[in-house]
Structure 1
Amino acid sequence: MGLFVGLDIGTTSAKVFLFERHGKIRGQGKAAYTLLVPEPGRAEQRPQEIMDAVALAFRRAMTSGGVRPEDIEAVGVSAAMHSLMAVDKDGMPLTPLLTWADNRSVTQLAELKRSGAASELYALTGTPAHPMSPLGKLLWWKENMPELFETAARFISIKEYLLYRCFGVYALDVSTAAATGLLDISGRGWSDEALELAGIGKERLGELVPVTEVLRGMKPEMAAAFGLSPGTKWVVGASDGALANIGSGAASPGSTAVTIDGGGAVRRFVTRPMTDPEGRMFCYPFSEDRWLIGGPTSSGGVALRWFNEQFMGGAQPGPSLRDAVRAHPERRQRRGRHHAAIDPGQPGFLSLDELIDLAMTVPPGAGGVLFLPYLSGERAPYWNPDARGVFAGAGLHHGRQHFVRAVLEGVLFAVNDVTETLSGLASPPERMLASGGFASSAAWTGLLSDITGLRIDVPGCFEASAFGAALLAMIATGALDSLDEADDRVGILRSHAPSDANRAVYEKLYPLFKDVYRRLEPVFPELVSMQGKV
Structure 2
Amino acid sequence: MPLSTPLILAHDIGTSGVKATLFNTSGVVKGSFTSPYRTSYLGHNEVEQNPLNWWQAICESTNYLIKENNIEPSQINVVTFSGQMMGVVPVDKKGDSIHPAIIWADMRATKQANLATTSLGEDYLYHITGNKMTSSYSGPKIAWIKENKPKIYQATYKFLQAKDYIVAKLTGAFLTDYSDASGTNLFDIHQKKWCDDIIDFWKIDKSKLPDVVASTKVAGTVKEQVASEIGLLEGTPVVIGGADGSCAALGAGIVNVGDAFNYLGSSSWVAGVSDNPIIDEQKRIFNFIHLDDTKIMPIGTMQAAGTLIDWVITQWYRDYSLTDKKKAYQVMNQEIEQSTIGANGLTFLPYMLGERSPWWKEEIKASILGLTPEHKRGDFSRAAMEGITLNLRLILDALEESGLSMKEFWLFGGGANSMIWRQMVSDLFQKPINIPCDVEETTSKGAAIVGGIGVGLLKDFSVAKEWQNHETTIFSNQKTHKEYNELLNRFTIAYYKTEQFY
Higher mean C-alpha displacement, 151-160 vs 42-51:
151-160
Instruction: Give the SS at the match of 2:10.
Output: strand
Cα-to-partner distance string for 1:395-447 (whole Å, 9 max, x where unaligned): 22211111111111111111111111111112452442111101112221111
Cα-to-partner distance string for 1:71-114 (whole Å, 9 max, x where unaligned): 11222210010110222333332211000011111222233344
Q: Is the 8 A contact 2:49 2:101 kept in 1?
A: yes
Q: Is the 8 A contact 2:214 2:293 kept in 1?
A: no
Q: Which of the numbers 279, 282, 294 marks the counterpart of 1:289? A: 294
1:388 to partner: Cα distance: 1.0
Q: Which of the numbers 94, 103, 108 marks the counterpart of 1:90? A: 94
> Which residue of structure 2 aligns with residue 175 of structure 1?
179
Question: Equivalences for 1:118-129 in 2 at 5 Å?
Answer: 118-129=122-133
> Which residue of structure 2 aligns with residue 532 of structure 1?
none
> Which residue of structure 1 aligns with residue 317 of structure 2?
312
AA partner of residue 181 (structure 1) = N
- Taking a change above 3 Å as real, the CA distance of residues 175 and 349 of structure 1, as seen in their structure-2 partners, is closer
Q: Is the 8 A contact 2:449 2:463 kept in 1?
A: no
Q: Which of the numbers 436, 459, 477 marks the counterpart of 1:481? A: 459
Measured in 2, the distance between the counterparts of 1:69 and 1:133 equals 37
Alignment of 1:58 with 2:62, yes or no, is yes
Instruction: Give the SS at the match of 1:351.
Output: helix
Alignment of 1:510 with 2:488, yes or no, is yes
Q: Is the 8 A contact 1:281 1:422 kept in 2?
A: yes
Higher mean C-alpha displacement, 89-98 vs 41-50:
89-98
> Which residue of structure 2 aligns with residue 442 of structure 1?
419
Measured in 2, the distance between the counterparts of 1:15 and 1:349 equals 18
Higher mean C-alpha displacement, 86-95 vs 507-516:
86-95
> Which residue of structure 1 aligns with residue 436 of structure 2?
459
AA partner of residue 297 (structure 1) = M
- Structure 2 unaligned regions, length at least 5: none
AA partner of residue 357 (structure 1) = Q
Q: Is the 8 A contact 1:373 1:411 kept in 2?
A: yes
Higher mean C-alpha displacement, 505-514 vs 84-93:
84-93
Alignment of 1:32 with 2:36, yes or no, is yes
Q: Which of the numbers 412, 426, 435 marks the counterpart of 2:403? A: 426
Spell out structure 1 runs of 4+ moving beyond 6 A.
none
Q: Which of the numbers 373, 377, 391 marks the counterpart of 2:350? A: 373
Measured in 2, the distance between the counterparts of 1:479 and 1:92 equals 31
Q: Which of the numbers 395, 398, 404 marks the counterpart of 2:381? A: 404
- Taking a change above 3 Å as real, the CA distance of residues 82 and 148 of structure 1, as seen in their structure-2 partners, is same
Give the TM-score taking structure 2 as reference length. Answer: 0.94
Cα-to-partner distance string for 1:163-184 (whole Å, 9 max, x where unaligned): 1111011021111111011111
> Which residue of structure 1 aligns with residue 305 of structure 2?
300
Give the TM-score taking structure 1 as reference length. Answer: 0.89
> Which residue of structure 1 aligns with residue 7 of structure 2?
3
1:394 to partner: Cα distance: 2.1
AA partner of residue 300 (structure 1) = A
> Which residue of structure 2 aligns with residue 12 of structure 1?
16
Measured in 2, the distance between the counterparts of 1:197 and 1:344 equals 48
Instruction: Give the SS at the match of 1:284.
Output: strand
Question: Equivalences for 1:75-154 in 2 at 5 Å?
Answer: 75-115=79-119, 117-154=121-158
Alignment of 1:364 with 2:341, yes or no, is yes
AA partner of residue 125 (structure 1) = T
Cα-to-partner distance string for 1:359-391 (whole Å, 9 max, x where unaligned): 111222211211110011001111111111111
> Which residue of structure 1 aligns with residue 471 of structure 2?
493
1:188 to partner: Cα distance: 2.7
- Taking a change above 3 Å as real, the CA distance of residues 523 and 123 of structure 1, as seen in their structure-2 partners, is same
Measured in 2, the distance between the counterparts of 1:156 and 1:464 equals 24
Measured in 1, the distance between the counterparts of 2:489 and 2:67 equals 51
Question: Equivalences for 1:218-297 in 2 at 5 Å?
Answer: 218-286=222-290, 287-297=292-302
Instruction: Give the SS at the match of 2:462.
Output: helix
Q: Is the 8 A contact 1:28 1:62 kept in 2?
A: no
Measured in 1, the distance between the counterparts of 2:20 and 2:150 equals 38
- Taking a change above 3 Å as real, the CA distance of residues 150 and 217 of structure 1, as seen in their structure-2 partners, is closer
Measured in 1, the distance between the counterparts of 2:110 and 2:299 equals 22
1:2 to partner: Cα distance: 1.0
Measured in 2, the distance between the counterparts of 1:517 and 1:115 equals 29
Higher mean C-alpha displacement, 293-302 vs 391-400:
391-400
1:239 to partner: Cα distance: 0.5
1:243 to partner: Cα distance: 0.8
1:296 to partner: Cα distance: 0.8
Q: Is the 8 A contact 2:220 2:239 kept in 1?
A: no
Q: Is the 8 A contact 1:127 1:180 kept in 2?
A: no
Instruction: Give the SS at the match of 2:93.
Output: coil
Q: Is the 8 A contact 2:80 2:238 kept in 1?
A: yes
> Which residue of structure 1 aligns with residue 371 of structure 2?
394
Measured in 1, the distance between the counterparts of 2:189 and 2:33 equals 36
Question: Equivalences for 1:313-328 in 2 at 5 Å?
Answer: 313=318
Measured in 2, the distance between the counterparts of 1:56 and 1:460 equals 26
1:350 to partner: Cα distance: 5.2
Measured in 1, the distance between the counterparts of 2:150 and 2:284 equals 32
Instruction: Give the SS at the match of 2:406.
Output: coil
Q: Is the 8 A contact 1:28 1:65 kept in 2?
A: no
User: Number of residues paired by the alignment?
Assistant: 496
Q: Is the 8 A contact 1:430 1:455 kept in 2?
A: no
- Structure 1 unaligned regions, length at least 5: 315-342, 525-534
> Which residue of structure 2 aligns with residue 323 of structure 1?
none
